[in-house]
Amino acid sequence: MGMVIAAAHTATHHGTGPASAVELAGRAARACLSQAQVSPSSVGVLINVGVYRESNTFEPALAALVQKEVGINLDYIADPAPSAGFSFDLMNGACGVLNAVQLAQSLLDTGSAERVLITAADVHPGGDARRDPHYPYADLAGAFLLQRSADPGTGFGPVSVYSGDGPTDIEGYLDTAAMGSDGRSRITVRRTEGHGARRSALAAACTVGYAREHGIDLDRTLVVGPRAGEDTSAAQGMAIHGAGEPHTAAPILGYLQALAAPRPKDCDRLLMVAAGAGPSAACVAYRPEGW
């Protein structure tokens, strides 16, 4: 059986009050469940891959807070069916969603869960990315609801991960020497000059390598690259342009944009590519149901 995307959604900050990664991830997740017409209790595992969050919160795991926000199996005794919900954080920057897809494949293949929900949300710790001109990312969340399909010709292929040459040229950290009393609302993101070109080159090399390794015809493949969403003004009617780039939610946003656009002639699959700090990259092929 293949693993397919049963639903996908994004959520953006409306500008009323401080942005919250938990609230945005919860909103995207609930929209997925509504789209798929399933209850929160049907989700066996929730994997949260967001990096930046309100007030620089690191404990408890944000996944537990998102699980509570969505209402997934909050009481093992009162809501035991189909199984007790489990959630955890997986933090690997831009590649996080595809790493989570790889984990979800194992969970579904072994029958450990019937559905896996992936959430990716990043917000400026100060509550509004638009107020910090040096912070590059949008206050944005995305979610994938994954489940098995009876059609073996659809769904995800294997996920491959790659390491680039040289030291990382993208870092996000809290500068404790300069934070003063504002550490909960500040973050430093350092990206060296030319990082975008190097990221794109790594993604291109990994795309070619993945296609060669798995026998994929790139002429029949729509590549959803690491810069998906940066130069567009809307996804599902949600404006993000001018408020920063998508970060961990970029593969989800790119997937939605790919489905919304006219399909190129003879195209029979997608290839999702993510690249970021490390430098590292990840690739996975995907054939939606009905393609």
pLDDT per residue over 201-211, tens digit each? 999 999 999 99
Backbone angles phi, psi at 78, to 5 degrees: -75, -30
Specify the higher pLDDT residue, 92 or 14: 92
Tell me: pLDDT of 181 over 80.
no
pLDDT of residue 107: 94
pLDDT of residue 161: 95
Least confident of 203-217, 234-248, 267-281: 234-248
pLDDT of residue 237: 39
Q: What is the DSSP string of 204-265?
A: HHHHHHHHHHHT--GGGEEEE-TTTTTT-S-BTTB--TTS-B--TTHHHHHHHHHHHSPPPT
Residues 255, 270: contact at Cβ < 8 Å? Answer: yes
Residue in 19, 11, 3 with CA at minimum distance from that of residue 249: 11
Least confident of 115-124, 162-171, 236-245, 271-280: 236-245
% of the chain beyond a pLDDT of 90: 61
In this prediction, residue 240 has a pLDDT band, given cuts at 50, 70 and 90, of very low
CA distance 180 to 29: 36
Tell me: pLDDT of 242 over 70.
no
Helix, strand, coil shares, percent, the chain, to 5: 30, 25, 45
Q: What is the mean pLDDT of residues 62-70?
A: 96
Record the tokens describing residue 237, joined without a space: 């009617």
Tell me: pLDDT of 252 over 80.
yes
CA distance 53 to 262: 35
Q: What is the mean pLDDT of residues 48-67?
A: 91
What is the tens place of the pLDDT at every residue in 91-118? Answer: 999 999 999 999 999 999 998 889 999 9
Domains in the chain with CATH codes: 2-153 (3.40.47.10), 157-287 (3.40.47.10)
pLDDT of residue 241: 40
Tell me: pLDDT of 233 over 60.
no
CA distance 11 to 66: 14
Tell me: pLDDT of 227 over 80.
no
Least confident of 10-19, 58-67, 240-249, 251-260: 240-249
pLDDT of residue 152: 83
Record the tokens describing residue 123, joined without a space: 């917000």
Residue in 167, 172, 96 with CA at minimum distance from that of residue 134: 172
Q: What is the mean pLDDT of residues 12-36?
A: 93
Amino acid identity of residue 192, one-letter, is T
pLDDT of residue 79: 65
CA distance 113 to 59: 25
Residue in 18, 29, 52 with CA at minimum distance from that of residue 170: 52
Q: Helix and strand tally (H, E) in the chain?
A: 5, 11
Specify the higher pLDDT residue, 192 or 282: 282
Which residues touch 164 (CB under 8 Å, ≥6 apart)?
A: 198, 202, 275, 278, 279, 280, 281
Record the tokens describing residue 8, joined without a space: 């996908």
Q: What is the mean pLDDT of residues 68-85?
A: 76
In this prediction, residue 82 has a pLDDT band, given cuts at 50, 70 and 90, of low
Q: What is the mean pLDDT of residues 160-175?
A: 87
Residue in 34, 1, 5, 8 with CA at minimum distance from that of residue 291: 5
